[in-house]
Structures are given as C-alpha cells and as structure tokens.
Amino acid sequence: MKLIELADAEATLRKCIQASYEEPVIFVDQGTPVASLTPLPNTDLESVKLSYDPAFLRIIEDSRRSMKDEDGISTEGMRHRLGLSAKRRPAKRGGS
C-alpha cells in the first residue's frame, strides 16, 4: 500500500493514478488516512455514481430488509416461478 501525504498529492496525481494499478494508494493528512485511490476495472460511470447515491442505497437497503423481514422471493426463486433458466455468472477475467 502506498501512502501519499495530502499536501503532496496535487503535484503527483498522475503518478498516483498510475501507481494505483499496482496497489491501493492511500492519501493521508498529517498521517491520518482521508481517501484511497483504486482502479475501477469492468465498471461504468453510472454504476459508480449509483454506488454513492444515498437515495439509491436506501432503496437497496429497504429491499434487503423487506426480503428478510417479509420472506420475499429471491431472483433465483422468481426465475424458477417464471420458468426461466438460471442466470449464468460471467466468467472471471484475469489470472486469478
């Protein structure tokens, strides 16, 4: 993990982004972690925006709570009820 003092970050942003492809880059302010920089492989801007949208996150949390509390039906269960085949997971990319 690479640590970058916040005061030095502006001058080295391009280098930080390049370094983040190898390991997480953590920005610190007087030794206290304040932010991290990691690559976003296999994603799009809309997904990133939604992952930080408070209204969307509330919808997801409400749905999960409802699923648990009200004995909701899973995606797989609904696919079975509708006679659809099981959804296949995409193949993993990369060497791991």
Q: Are residues 49 and 77 in the same domain?
A: yes
- Residue 88, pLDDT above cutoff 70: no
Q: Are residues 50 and 77 in the same domain?
A: yes
pLDDT in tens, 30-83: 889 998 998 888 889 899 889 989 999 999 999 888 878 877 777 888 888 899
3-state secondary structure the chain: CEEEEHHHHHHHHHHHHHHHCCCCEEEEECCEEEEEECCCCCCCHHHHHHHCCHHHHHHHHHHHHHHHHCCCCCHHHHHHHCCCCCCCCCCCCCCC
Residue 75 lies in a domain: yes
Does 52 or 94 have the greater pLDDT score?
52
Confidence band of 93 (pLDDT split at 50, 70, 90): low
Does 88 or 65 have the greater pLDDT score?
65
Q: Are residues 6 and 30 in the same domain?
A: yes
Q: Are residues 10 and 26 in the same domain?
A: yes
In this prediction the pTM is 0.48
Number of domains in the chain: 2
Q: Are residues 27 and 49 in the same domain?
A: no
Residue 8 lies in a domain: yes
- Residue 17, pLDDT above cutoff 70: yes
Please compute the mean of the pLDDT values over residues 20-24 and round it to a whole number. 90
